[in-house]
Structure 1
């Protein structure tokens, strides 16, 4: 399939420093390809579900041709971190053996500041549409989760999206939710082309494309203590959630448009 999602696998060779501004304690690390990455750990607070959200949200953004740092599977050897002096970090590393997820580190990037940089209506509408679709609660004025790199806007940190999977109940109902939290989106005031974006993006996100993204979830991330469902059954629910939400996109589009009208 053209533009079919694919992730490389790297081996983490050096833990550089924790990035303590993140609630899940991500880290800057180096891998065996000599690149630096922002490493997200499966042993952190929300566990593998945050990595699944990061993977699905990020790869949907990439397929929609929004700029996002390359995502890679990041393997942590069982011996990694034994010499780490900080007990909290050592526990995190030991609890994250195996496959984790990492984003290519954009050296020199700065946090997006809406006061300094104005995003055009087309791009703003595309980002707002994405976040309403994947129920991303984490792109607000307080925490924009966007970077400016080489004068272009890059999206990061999608680990808080798809929050339905933390309860895994009434997921079909949640798939058709209006997503009221879109009212807090940092780019909502500029997002004047939501209906046009909806038409464009629904043509791109076919069932085959979404299936290929869901298939990227490693099996070891789909063995949940609180679920007896097999990995393939869990993947199927993620796919159905995304398809139902896409087929009822007018629900979250109308919510976003109504929220925007109260701002302008």
Structure 2
């Protein structure tokens, strides 16, 4: 189970898209990027963050540590921004934190070289979880102490927004043409040979078990949280074996509009210099 901490101070919002994550300090003396249950994308974003983030960590990818954060909205009373106050009021109780990586920089393909093996591992992983939010438009990667770190997995496993169509959705190819690491010649075959055998029912059940029950209750079509967890396991397990055969790497499409669902299109919009400024403030525990 994820470690649980208590938020003791709300530091500042990170104004990236509609989710409005914030930097908080906690009673373990750690500093975290906090994702809120009251944000517009809803609790499924946090479910995806836990399952995919923890899966990535177990596969040896660099993903900041995740924790459960208990929030008392009273800590935001001094925040002057009305939008932030409303978000905190709507998010009392259990939320999600990502270790803050101080001094990290937003990934820039022109400034940071990625070898084909590492690029292949990331592209294969993103294909497995159907990550539509790691494109050149919005890489969602940080460089910290010279290493590449993966962040923001809320826009993954799109099928869990429509479980009746999950099997068909999970069977679709993954178009990596616009992936932020596509220009580095990702060695997908090597990544699949290394990582696919690690994606076992036991491993997937382990990461699904880390999702708090309260983020899974009352899902239409499921009479228990255990059955819902099993649905996540089944979808990812079926995809792991053959997804490398269905990864498309064509020329990037700079003028093509985003194909992401409407609820994340704002997050996919180019952020230009703002993104670099904000990501320079991102990070993990000092």
After TM superposition, the score normalised by the length of structure 2 is: 0.83
Secondary structure in 1 aligned to 2:7?
strand
> How far does residue 22 in structure 1 lie from its aligned partner after superposition?
3.7
Matched, 1:193 2:170: no
Helix, strand or coil for the counterpart of 1:67?
coil
2:48 aligned to which of 32, 50, 53: 53
Consecutive unaligned residues of structure 1, counting only runs of 5 or more, are 1-5
CA distance in 2, matches of 1:226, 1:85: 38
Give distance in 1, aligned partners of 2:222 and 2:85. 30
Partner of 2:245: 254
CA distance in 2: counterparts of 1:31 and 1:232, whole angstroms: 30
The one of 39, 42, 60 equivalent to 1:44 is 39
Does 2:178 correspond to 1:184?
Answer: yes
Larger RCO (alpha carbons 8 Å, 6+ apart)? 2
Q: How does 1:222-237 map to 2 (within 5 A)?
A: 222-224=216-218, 229-237=223-231
**Aligned to 2:163, what secondary structure does the other structure show?**
coil
Tell me the residue number matched to 2:198.
204
- 1:215 Cα deviation after fit: 0.6
For structure 2, the 5+ residue unaligned runs are 253-286
Pair 1:32 & 2:27 matched = yes
| 1:129–1:197 Cα contact (<8 Å) kept | yes
- Cα RMSD (Å) of the superposition? 1.7
- Does the C-alpha gap of structure 1 residues 89 and 22 become closer, same or farther in structure 2, counting only changes over 3 Å? same
The question of whether the paired residues in 2 share the 8 Å contact of 1:43 and 1:95 is answered with: yes
Q: Tell me which residue corresponds to 2:125.
A: 130
Count of residues in correspondence between the two structures = 252
* Matches of 2:186 and 2:153, distance apart in 1: 23
Is the contact between residue 68 and residue 96 of structure 2 (CA under 8 Å) also seen in structure 1?
Answer: yes
User: Contact 2:123–2:186 at 8 Å: present in 1 too?
Assistant: no
Aligned mates of 1:238, 1:133 — CA distance in 2: 12
Is the CA contact (8 Å cut-off) linking 1:81 and 1:90 kept in structure 2? yes
Q: 1:225, 1:211 → 2: CA distance?
A: 18
State how far apart, in whole Å, the 1-side matches of 2:223 and 2:41 are.
19
Which digits, 9 at most, give the CA deviation of each residue in 1:150-175, with x for residues without a partner?
A: 11111111111111112222111112
Is the partner of 2:155 in helix, strand or coil?
A: coil
Question: Paired residue for 1:244?
Answer: 238
Deviations 1:120-171 (A, max 9, x none): 0000000000001100011111111111111111111111111111222211
Q: Is the 8 A contact 1:128 1:191 kept in 2?
A: no
SS of aligned partner of 1:33: coil
Distance 1:211 1:171 in 2: 18
TM-score normalised by the chain length of structure 1: 0.90
